[in-house]
Structures are given as C-alpha cells and as structure tokens.
C-alpha cells in the first residue's frame, strides 16, 4: 500500500513538473465557452478529462455559454476568469465600454478564421456574393455573421439586402420554408442544422466569409485583466494544458467526442463528431492558421479587423487592437505545434 501510494505521488509530482507547477497548489479557473456543449467544445474538455489542467496546478470549471457577447460580459464582470469568445464581440465590448474597469483580453487565438458564412439553398439561384443583392436575409440580431455582414458586403460589392430577425432555432427552419433567401451563421453549425431539417448537403450553397475576402479572426481564449495581473503563470499553464488536449482532439476527433457526451448526454455523437471535424478543418487548422501559427495573430491583420469592426458595428469609440490582445503568456513554440498534417 505504501509503495503504491509512493508511486502515485511521484507520478503526480512528475506530471506537475512537466507543466512547471505544483499539483498541490490548485488555482481555481472558471471558464465559459461561447456556446453549448457541441463538438468543438471537445477542444477544451479533452484537457479536463485527461487531467492536464489539474496536472498544471489548476482547478478548472468549464461551463456552456449562450453567445460570445455573454461570455465577454461575464468575464468582464468577474463571474468567470476566462472564456472562449468571438474577437469581434470582444472588440465591440472594448469600444463601447471604454471606461469599463475589467475589459477582457484575448490571450490565444482558437479560430484563426471567423466561422461566419452566408448559406442559401441552390434552388434560390444564389451561387456567389453578388447574387445576394436585393435578397431577404435572416439571422438573430446578435449573430456574428449578420453584424459583420457590412464588411462582407463592401468587400464583395453586394447591394442592399433586407434583414429578417428571429431566434436562433428558427433560422434554418425559415430558410427551408422559403421565408428568407439566405442566412448568416457559423458554417459548421448552420449546415448541420439544415441537414437535420431534411436538406441534402449538395443542395446547400455556402459562402464562407474567409473565402470571400473577409479575413476576420474568429474565437479566441480571453482572460480577465485581474487574472493576468495577479497570476499570469496560471494563464500560461491553462493555455499550455489546453494546447496539449487540443492536439489530441485534432489528431483523432472521433475518439475524443465522448468528452462532450459526458457533459451533455443527449447529443447526437455522429453529428457532433462531424461538427467538430468541420470546425477543425475550416477555422482551427485553416491555411491562415498554418501560416500564422496556432494560437497566434498577425498584428497587421488584427489592426485591419479592428478598423473594419469599428465601422461595421458603429462602435462608440474606435477599436484599439493593442488593447484587446496580449500574447505574452502563449506557450512555447513546441507546445503550440499541435496542428494535424494538412489534408490533401
């Protein structure tokens, strides 16, 4: 018994040492996702399931979210220490709340490209951005694609469109019914939602922002400035542990989807596995991510996005790109080498 205890204790200490932390100094981290427990959540849940956060000296709690805007607000309020949120939503919060005392900061890029896209049915005749001129588009008012559509519109010379607002569950239903001509949404979410409503993949037209001249960043891991100031080592430990789990997820998505099932027992496992794979291929391990490096940003690109968001969102003040990004706690280059081989 004593020998077994010694071996387990030694193993725990070695695991902690690998992360440069103590297994007995557990720092609590409350983390909120941008959305429900769906396929892409495995990127975060894997490290929890495998004990990587714990080995890094962290007591991490991961909760579902209900939109990036809410996640940014809750980290700003101190309800959560860290989260996963759309960079545009983070920029909007900064620019509209210049005097807020605890504005969250992005510390690691997760979705190098925005998942935002315009989706239509082939029978609509829409095949390219220009075809959207004069059409009826639908999305919730807070949808990232809808809020960023003026950028897509300008870059692609799209004329005026008419917007219809609805709650998220009705978006794809209204498109299928013919109430609207096209929708904006996350490509890997809306496509699968359309399939669930009986639409065949080959009958859907997808116009991803990233493939049509709009190089907005997508979601990033954000942290409260309070945590960054008081315990930057904990932030770095979280990011290093996250990267370790994310590498395993990207290497074999199907084998890690059970981490999501464990948090939401009613998910459709095959569907969420597809959603995870689509997210990895389109926004996590995208060509831009491979060029810039996982977790990192291109300053010029971030600066352009700040200007575009300021204009498209009509913010109270201009977005300061330097104020929303802090890459000083990123893991080492070796720890960030997590992207799977490019698909041929």
Residue 24, judged by CB atoms within 10 A of its CB (0-12, 13-18, 19+), counts as: exposed
Q: Please name every residue paired with 116 in a beta bridge, in sequence order, or none if there are none.
A: 186
Please provide residue 173's backbone torsions phi and psi, each rounded to the nearest 5 degrees: -60, -45
Where are the domains positioned within the chain? 11-113+217-324, 116-211
| Residue appearing with tokens 């962290």 | 58
For residue 41, give both structure tokens.
Answer: 């959540």
Q: Which residues pair with 272 in a beta bridge?
A: none
11-113+217-324 matches 116-211 in fold: yes
Helix (H) or strand (E) holding 58: strand 58-63
Cα separation, 95 vs 9, whole angstroms: 49
pLDDT tens for the 344 residues of the chain, in order:
444 444 444 444 444 444 544 445 699 999 999 999 999 999 999 999 999 999 999 999 999 999 999 999 999 999 999 999 999 999 999 999 999 999 999 999 999 999 999 999 999 999 999 999 999 999 999 999 999 999 999 999 999 999 999 999 999 999 999 999 999 999 999 999 999 999 999 999 999 999 999 999 999 999 999 999 999 999 999 999 999 999 999 999 999 999 999 999 999 999 999 999 999 999 999 999 999 999 999 999 999 999 999 999 999 999 999 999 999 999 999 999 999 999 87
Provide the pLDDT for residue 24: 52
Contact indicator for 338, 294 with CB cutoff of 8 Å = yes
∠ at Cα 180 (212, 210), nearest 5°?
A: 15
Residue 330 token pair: 């990123």
| Cβ-contact 214, 148 below 8 angstroms | yes
Q: Which residues contact 147 (CB under 8 A, 6 or more apart)?
A: 88, 92, 312, 313
The sign one gets for the Cα dihedral 327, 328, 333, 339 is negative
pLDDT in the model for residue 21: 44
CA distance 168 to 170: 5
Confidence at residue 23, expressed as pLDDT on a 0 to 100 scale: 42
Query: Which top CATH class is 11-113+217-324?
Result: alpha beta
Paired tokens of 331: 């893991």
Q: How far apart are the first and last CA of the chain?
A: 52
Question: Quick one: which of 320, 337, 341 has its CA closest to 94?
Answer: 320
Say how far apart CA 301 and CA 111 lie, in whole Å.
14
- How far CA 266 is from CA of 45, 263, 270, 272, 307, in Å, comes to 17, 9, 12, 11, 42
The top-level CATH class assigned to 116-211 is: alpha beta
Structure tokens that stand for 322 in this block: 């330097």
pLDDT reported for residue 343: 84
Question: Which residue intervals of the chain are DSSP H helices?
Answer: 2-18, 42-49, 52-55, 68-77, 87-96, 144-155, 171-177, 187-196, 225-230, 232-251, 253-256, 258-261, 269-279, 287-292, 299-313, 321-324
Strands 82-86 and 27-32: parallel
Instruction: Report DSSP state, residue 31.
Output: E
Specify the pLDDT at position 231. Answer: 98
CA distance 137 to 120: 9
């Amino acid at each position: 018994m004593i020998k077994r205890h010694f071996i387990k204790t030694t193993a725990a200490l070695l695991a902690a040492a690998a992360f440069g932390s103590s297994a007995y100094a557990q720092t609590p981290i409350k983390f909120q996702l941008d959305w429900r427990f769906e396929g892409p959540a495995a990127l975060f849940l894997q490290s929890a399931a495998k004990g990587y956060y714990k080995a890094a000296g962290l007591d991490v709690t991961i909760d579902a979210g209900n939109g990036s805007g809410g996640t940014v607000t809750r980290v700003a309020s101190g309800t959560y220490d860290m989260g996963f949120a759309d960079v545009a939503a983070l920029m909007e919060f900064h620019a509209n709340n210049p005097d807020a005392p605890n504005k969250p900061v992005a510390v690691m890029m997760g979705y190098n490209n925005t998942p935002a896209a315009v989706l239509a049915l082939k029978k609509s005749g829409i095949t390219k951005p220009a075809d959207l001129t004069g059409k009826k588009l639908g999305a919730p008012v807070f949808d990232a694609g809808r809020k960023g559509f003026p950028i897509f519109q300008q870059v692609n010379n799209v004329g005026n469109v008419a917007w219809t607002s609805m709650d998220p569950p009705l978006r794809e239903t209204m498109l299928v019914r013919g109430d609207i001509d096209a929708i904006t949404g996350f490509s890997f979410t809306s496509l699968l939602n359309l399939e669930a409503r009986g639409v065949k993949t080959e009958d859907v037209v997808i116009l991803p922002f990233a493939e049509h001249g709009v190089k907005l960043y997508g979601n990033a891991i954000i942290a409260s400035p309070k945590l960054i100031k008081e315990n930057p080592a904990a932030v770095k430990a979280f990011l290093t542990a996250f990267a370790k789990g994310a590498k395993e997820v990207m290497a074999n998505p199907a084998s890690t989807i059970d981490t999501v099932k464990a948090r939401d027992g009613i998910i459709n496992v095959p569907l969420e596995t597809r959603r995870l794979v689509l997210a990895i291929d389109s926004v996590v391990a995208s060509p831009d991510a491979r060029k810039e490096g996982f977790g990192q940003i291109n300053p010029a690109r971030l600066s352009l996005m700040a200007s575009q968001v300021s204009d498209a969102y009509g913010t109270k003040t201009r977005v300061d790109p330097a104020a929303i990004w802090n890459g000083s706690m990123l893991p080492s280059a070796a720890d960030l080498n997590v992207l799977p081989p490019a698909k041929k």
